[in-house]
Amino acid sequence: MRDPAGGDVHVTRVRAWTGSAASRHTGTIRIRNGRIVALDAGVAVPSGGSVIDAGGLWAVPGFVDAHVHLLLGGLRAGRPDLSRVTTRTAFEDAVGRAHAELPTGRWLIAHGWSEDRIDGRVLPDRTWLRAAGDRPVVCWRSDLHAAVVNDAVLHHIRRTGGDVQSGPASREFVRDPDGVPTGLLLETAAWHVLQPRIPPPSVAEKRGALRAALDQLLARGVTTVGAMEYEADLRQVILPSRSHGAMQPRVRVTLLDRAWPFDPGPACAHAGDRADDPDLRIIGCKAFVDGTMGSRTARLRAPYADRPGDRGMLVELARDGHLEAWIRLVAEAGLQPSMHAIGDEAVGLALDAIDALGPALESRCRPRIEHAQQIDPADFHRFRGRIASVQPAHAIDDAPGLVERVGADRLPGSFAWQSLLDHGAILAFGSDWPVVDCDPMLALRTAIVGPEAGRDSGERLSSVDAMMAHTAGAAHALCDAGIGAIAPGRHADLVLLDRDPRTADWAAAPPRVIATMVGGRVAWSAPGFEPA
C-alpha cells in the first residue's frame, strides 16, 4: 500500500532504534513532505494527515546497501542459476535444460557456479558445455571475475579479432598442459575480451530488469543503494526510468567506465545534472586493482598457500601503473573514487593512491576501498577515518577455503571487520548483488554470527555496530547526510521489523522486514500488514 504524496504522515505506536549505539524512541514519528519533523513520546492520533499504525513494530533507519549492480541483479533473475550445482553431471544437466528451453540463435548465459561447491573442487571447462551443441554458452562464476565458455564462443572471439594467444589478456585464457584453451577465462579476458562480444539485452529488457531489481531491494528493506553501473546504461536505462517518476529505493550511481586516458567529463556532467535530485544522483567512478579470492586473482603480497609462486594479479589501471593518476583525476573533478581491492597487496596499493591525494583533496572526495577482504595487519592503522566498503556475505563462500588459500598465519587480516573499527575505519556494508543475495539480514547475520561454514574465519561484530555499518556507515560512504538515521530533518526512510535487532537471536531468528518506507510512503509491505 502506498500513502498519498506530500502532506503529513504520522507513524504511531512504534518502537524505534534511531541509528546510534543506545538510542531508542517509543511513540510517534511525525513526517512532513517526506522528511522527519519530530519524534513524539505520545501515541494519540493527530488530526490531519495520514496515519500508519505500526502496532508496536520496531522501526530502524532504512537499510543502505553501499555496493550493488542493479542491472546485473535484475537481468540475472531470468537466467539459469548454477549456484546449487555440486557435480559435473548436475552442471551438464542444467546446461542441457537451459539449451532446450532457449529459442534458436540466442546465447545461453548462466551464472553462479563455484568450484568450491563442486565435488572435488574441480574447475569446469568447455567440455562441460557440450549439451548445448554449437550454441554459444557463457557460464559466469559466482564472483563474476571468471567465466567458462564453449568452443562456439572461443571461435566467435577469434573470428571477431579477439587475441587468445597473445596480448595483455592472453594469460587469462586458462590452458591445459598442451597449451589448448580450456574455456575458462579470468578477469581481463572475461570482461574486456568476452563481455563486449556477448549480444547485449535490449534497452527494454534492461529497463524491465531495473524495475525488478528495485522492487526486490524494497522487499528486503533497502531504501538507498550505491549502484555500480556503466555510463551507457545510466543514460539509456536509469535516467529515462527516473524521468517517469520517483526512483525507489534511492539510487547513488558510481560509474564503472575506466578506459585510459580517463575522461571524467561525462561523469561530471551527469553529476551536475542530478546534484539536487533526492532519488537519483551520480557520485563517483570506480577502478579495479585486482580480482577475487575465489578465482585466486586477488593480488597478495606473498603467494597463495596452495599455489607456490602465484600471488594473483593486478588488473587494468593498477596493472598499467595509472591508478594514482586516475584517482587524482576523479578527485579533482569533484567525484568520489572507489577502488576494488581484495588482496593485501591490492589494498596497500589503494591506500597508497589515497595517501598521494593529500589530506585536503582526500577529505573533499571521500575515497572508498571496496571489499578490503584480506588486509595486512600492518595496514590497519592506515584506515583511520577512511571508508572500508565491505560485503560480509562474501565470507559465506570464501571463508571455508580461506586457510587453504592464504594459510593460517594470514587469517588475522581476513574479513577483519572489528579490527577495522578498532583502528578508526568507517565501516560501510553492502552486498555486491548479484554476487551474493541483497538481503541486509544475510549480511548482518554473517557479520554478527559468522558465515554458515568456516566459523573459524573472520571477525564478529556486535549487533549495534553491524546495524550502524548498514545504515549510517553506508550513508556516509554514499556521501548522503539525509539518510542513515531516524532524526528530524532526515528523509523518512524507515524499515519496520518484527523485533528489536539489538537483542534478536541472529543465529536462530533474525528480524523480519514487515514494511519498507521511502520518503514517508509505504513502498513495500508484507502480506497482512495494513498501515492505514
DSSP strand pairing (25-32 vs 35-40) = antiparallel
- Looking at CATH, the fold of the domain delimited by 72-197 is given as Diaminopimelate Epimerase; Chain A, domain 1 (3.10.310)
* pTM > 0.85: yes
Which residues neighbour 160 within 8 Å (Cβ) at sequence distance 6 or greater? 197
What is the pLDDT at residue 7?
A: 79
Q: Which amino acid is at 407?
A: G
Which uninterrupted H or E stretch holds 232? helix 231-233
- Asked if residue 522 lies in contact with residue 1, where contact means CB atoms within 8 angstroms, the answer is yes
What is the pLDDT at residue 399?
A: 86
- Asked if residue 306 lies in contact with residue 405, where contact means CB atoms within 8 angstroms, the answer is yes
Alpha helix locations (H) across 44-85? 70-76
Rounded distance, CA 138 to CA 91, Å?
13
* 344-357 vs 323-332: helix crossing angle, rounded to 10: 50
What is the pLDDT at residue 452?
A: 64
- Asked if residue 221 lies in contact with residue 513, where contact means CB atoms within 8 angstroms, the answer is yes
What is the pLDDT at residue 3?
A: 42
User: Domain residues of the chain, as ranges?
Assistant: 8-62+489-525, 72-197
- Looking at CATH, the fold of the domain delimited by 8-62+489-525 is given as Urease, subunit C; domain 1 (2.30.40)
Which residues neighbour 149 within 8 Å (Cβ) at sequence distance 6 or greater? 126, 129, 136, 137, 138, 139, 183, 185, 194
Which three cell numbers, joined as nine digits, stand for 70? 542493479
What is the pLDDT at residue 453?
A: 46
Per-residue pLDDT of the chain (532 residues; tens, 9 = 90+): 334 445 799 999 999 999 987 788 889 999 999 999 999 876 566 667 899 999 999 999 999 999 999 999 999 988 999 999 999 999 999 999 999 999 999 999 999 999 999 999 999 999 999 999 999 999 999 999 999 999 999 999 999 987 666 566 678 999 999 999 999 999 999 999 999 999 999 999 999 999 999 999 999 999 999 999 999 999 999 999 998 878 999 999 999 999 999 999 999 999 999 999 999 999 999 999 999 998 899 999 999 999 999 999 999 999 999 999 999 999 999 999 999 999 999 999 999 999 999 999 999 999 999 999 999 999 999 999 999 999 999 999 888 888 899 999 999 999 999 999 999 999 999 999 999 999 999 999 999 999 864 455 568 999 999 999 999 999 999 999 999 999 999 999 999 999 999 999 999 999 999 999 999 999 999 998 887 6
Rounded distance, CA 473 to CA 478, Å?
9
